Structures are given as C-alpha cells and as structure tokens.
Structure 1
Amino acid sequence: MKVISLCPSNTEIMEFLGLTHLLVGVDDFSDWPESVKSLPQLGPDLSINLDLVEELQPDLVLASLSVPGMEKNVEGLEERNIPYIILNPQSLTDIENDLIKTANALNMPERGQEAAEQFRNRLENIKQKGASASWKPKLYWEWWPKPVFTPGRINWLTEVSEAAGAENLFKDVELASVQTDWDDVKSRKPDYICVAWVGVRKQKVKKELIINRPGWEELEAVKNDRILILEEELYCRPSPRLLDGLEKLQHLLHN
C-alpha cells in the first residue's frame, strides 16, 4: 500500500499505527517522526500540489478538514478519482476512532484496535492521576496573540486540561476556537498562562511579550511566573501525541 498524508496529525496517526513505512509523500509541515522529512513534500497543507499527489499513485490519501480552506484539497482528490479518507478529529475520542478508521481503510483492522486500546488505557491512567490533584488551576491557552485566539469547550485542549487536573479558562464558550482580547483574559484571572502558538516553534516565543501586555503585571499567573511556553506540536495537533503533551502538562502543574 502507498499512502499520502496531507497534514501533520495524519502523519502522526500513521506512526502510532506502526505504518509510517507505507508513506510515500507528506505535506510540508509534517515533521514527526524524523524519517518523514526525507519523503517527497507536497506543499503546505492548505495548498497541496495535487499533480505531485497524482504522480505518486497512492492507494490512499489521508485528507483533513481541520483548517478552513482544506476543502479544496478534498475537491481536487475527488476530481482526480484519487482514493481518500478524511480525518477531522475534534476530541480525544475522535482521535482514538481515527486510529481505527485509518487502519480499517488500510485493511489492517487489528492494528487499529490495538493502537486505540493503548491510547485509551494511557489516557485513563493519566486521568486517574489528574483526578487526585488537590488544586485544579484555571489555564488560559493562547493559540494566537493578535488577534487573540484560545480554545473553547468543543476542543481537545478542554479535555487535556481536565485530564491533567485543571480546567480551560474558556470552557464556558461553546466553540472550538474563541476570538477574544487581552482584557477579557485578564478579567477571567487565569492561574496559568499556557502559550502554544500554532505553527510557531517554542524557541521563538519570548516570555516578555506576554508579561508586558497592558495590565497583565497584575495577574497572579504573571506575578508567580506561572507562564508556560509549550511545544505547539504537542498541543495544537489532533493526534495521539497530545498524550505526550498531557503528561508533560500534568507534571508541570502538579510536581
């Protein structure tokens, strides 16, 4: 089987299934595991070069609708009669189900069931630790600074927060992604500020940019230096790697 992945989270699903060796091409942003960097790159996830996809003659393309604008990739695959499935997980349960869905599409159902069970068991173990936490801090997650975007209730980071023994500051908003402003964040009084800017490496995010916002010096999170600059690839991609991020977060909050 020859498989192509059109976004990083799909590529990571293949790795968790132990099927990375089937990949013959990936989008430009797929960077884990390291071995995929040597594969043909097919363009950024919002504008995949479908001519290159067709040339590689895949048996299956793992498409996505996780970012607005990806629809045109799916339309292009449809027009060219290239076989594909769409993965668009919004929750940890969706990710577990996508392991099964992908393995089924590749005629390896046992692999999917096995990977899903491992994922579920690992998550349950982390949740049990989180449930015993004596303090459940309020976390402000920042996906983007200008305009300010943060995850709402319908997002895996609300689940990740709860599993870690904390809560998402914006879990009251019935959206996957909330556009807000610094004053609103300040008024909600977060205990921690968790910064994971989509597509930006952790090393490029400077803490002083957060501290120097108007009025933020009054925040307990700033006064107590509870600002976490986190790896966006462990928190912003809906793949099983979220569990790596979750374990790290739990350790940072409660140890």
Structure 2
Amino acid sequence: MFSHTCSNTEIVCALGCAQLLVGVDADSDYPPEAVAGLPKTGRDLDLDIAAVQALHPDLVLTSLTVPGHEKVVKALRAAGLQVLVCDPRSLDDVYADIRAIAAALGVPARGAALVAEMDAAMPAVAEAGVRPTVLVEWWPKPVIAVAKHSWVNDLIQRAGGHNPWGEVDAKSLPLEASRAREARPDVVVMSWCGVKEANYRADVVRRRDGWQDVPAVAHGRIHAISEAYLGRPGPRLVEGYRRLRAAIAMAG
C-alpha cells in the first residue's frame, strides 16, 4: 500500500498497519519512526506516478484535500493503480474515511475503535451564553479563513467557539484583512499551510491596519496551532481540538 497524503499515512499508522506501507509522499513525516525508512516519491501535486508504480502497491490512499489533487488522482487511475480517495469536509467525514481505510486494510474493528477514541477525546463544550468568536486562518495575506465545509469548523464548535464564517458554503474563504477585522475575533489561531509552527509570527496579525482594537489583538489572544494538528484530517485532530479548547477557554 502507498499513501499519498500525510493524514492517510497517520491513519494507517494509528490503525497499527504501518508495516503495510511500501512508500509515502514527501510530506508524510509522522510518525517519524514509521516513515523514516520508506521511499518518498514527491510532494502532493508533484507525485512521481512512475515511481509509485515501481513500488507495486496493491492500493494507493489519496485525497482531494489539496486543490489540484484531482489531476493526481486521475493520473494514478490512468496508470492502472487501485485508488481509495478521501475528501472529508466535516468531522463525521473524517471518521467515515478512517472506517473506510480500516475496512480496506482488513481491520474494521480497529477503525471503529479509533473513531470512538477520537470522539471521546473531543467532547462538545456545553452552550453557555455568547461564545467567543474564533478566526482560524490557513494563510495570513490574504487571510484565508475556515468556512462551513471544513472539519475545523466542527472542531471550533466542539471546543466552545463560534466561527463567523461557519455558514459560508465553502471549504475556506479568502478575505481582505479589513473584512476579517469586521468579525472582531476574540481569538485568532494561526495554522498557516506549509509553514512550520516555529515560524508563525503573531506580529503579522498585530500589524494589520486597524486591528489594534480587535479583541484578539488587544488582549493578546493570538495562538499558533500547527497545521499538523488542524490541517491533517486524521488522529492528531485530537491535539488540535485540545489546543483550540485551551485558546477559546482563555477568552471565555
């Protein structure tokens, strides 16, 4: 089996099936002890299909979570490879994908157990008055905010927050900083795609024109949560939820 995306790699390993992997994409970096010695055949949109074929996988796990992945999926199928495609848009979709992968690997009971474990670790915070408004941004300029069709929208709700763009019919939403400011977020979470958490800079948020009186800026509630914990629809969403809940609790 070959895994094309980080989240699928992490799901396979969490299911106790790391030994079935014959290769992964270049961005799959967790768990390190499981992926360190595996062949890596290119990044998401630059996957070397011939190199994948040479590994003779009986199944390729891929996804549509990155814009442009449709072409990669088409190329994998054209190469005669058996493909399982994940396209989660909600937390329930993530759970369904875990079950589907577990079934494909012949360990459906492990899939059910992993879903139950994750769900229990991410309880919904009870409604209690006005919820803090939360901006989770995938990119700082333009601000790319989480919208309705994202598992992170569900995590914000579970963790006790309110996503002001949670009813926008999209996975994410590019916004001018002035428009994002109008929501007056109580909490800003930097989860910038393709950037290491150590390189997230709260100053980038603080320096935006007119943001000095935005509650998140005024009260120092700008948080860094690695994309590995929010942007990968797999087992480590639990850690993303925990960090989100802690950040939202500070604004409650």
In the alignment, which residue of structure 2 is the partner of 1:165? 160
Describe the SS at the equivalent of 2:209. coil
Question: Hey, what's the Cα distance between the residues in 1 that align with 2:53 and 2:172?
Answer: 34
Q: Which residue identity lines up with residue 151 of structure 1 in the other structure? A: V
Q: Which residue identity lines up with residue 68 of structure 1 in the other structure? A: P
TM-score, normalised relative to structure 2: 0.93
Question: Hey, what's the Cα distance between the residues in 2 that align with 1:154 and 1:80?
Answer: 31
TM-score, normalised relative to structure 1: 0.92
5+ residue gaps, structure 1, are none
Q: 1:22-101, aligned counterparts within 5 Å? A: 22-35=20-33, 36-101=35-100
Count matched residues: 249
Q: 1:1-255, aligned counterparts within 5 Å? A: 3-35=1-33, 36-123=35-122, 126-127=123-124, 130-131=125-126, 136-254=131-249
Question: Hey, what's the Cα distance between the residues in 1 that align with 2:247 and 2:135?
Answer: 15
Q: Is the 1:4–1:26 Cα contact (8 Å) retained in structure 2?
A: yes
Q: How far 1:133 moved relative to its partner?
A: 5.6
The share of aligned pairs that are identical, in percent, is 35
Question: Hey, what's the Cα distance between the residues in 2 that align with 1:204 and 1:84?
Answer: 35
Question: Hey, what's the Cα distance between the residues in 2 that align with 1:120 and 1:209?
Answer: 34
Q: Is the 2:2–2:59 Cα contact (8 Å) retained in structure 1?
A: yes
Question: Hey, what's the Cα distance between the residues in 2 that align with 1:81 and 1:198?
Answer: 31
Deviations 1:204-239 (A, max 9, x none): 111111111111112121111011122111011111
Q: Is the 2:141–2:177 Cα contact (8 Å) retained in structure 1?
A: no
Q: Is the 1:143–1:150 Cα contact (8 Å) retained in structure 2?
A: yes
Q: CA RMSD in A?
A: 1.6
Q: Is the 1:95–1:240 Cα contact (8 Å) retained in structure 2?
A: no
Q: How far 1:148 moved relative to its partner?
A: 2.1
Q: How far 1:132 moved relative to its partner?
A: 6.0
Question: Hey, what's the Cα distance between the residues in 1 that align with 2:18 and 2:168?
Answer: 37
Describe the SS at the equivalent of 1:63. strand
Describe the SS at the equivalent of 1:194. strand
5+ residue gaps, structure 2, are none
Describe the SS at the equivalent of 1:142. strand
Q: How far 1:168 moved relative to its partner?
A: 1.1
Q: Is the 1:25–1:42 Cα contact (8 Å) retained in structure 2?
A: yes
Closer/same/farther in 2, CA of residues 148 and 254 from structure 1, 3 Å limit:
closer
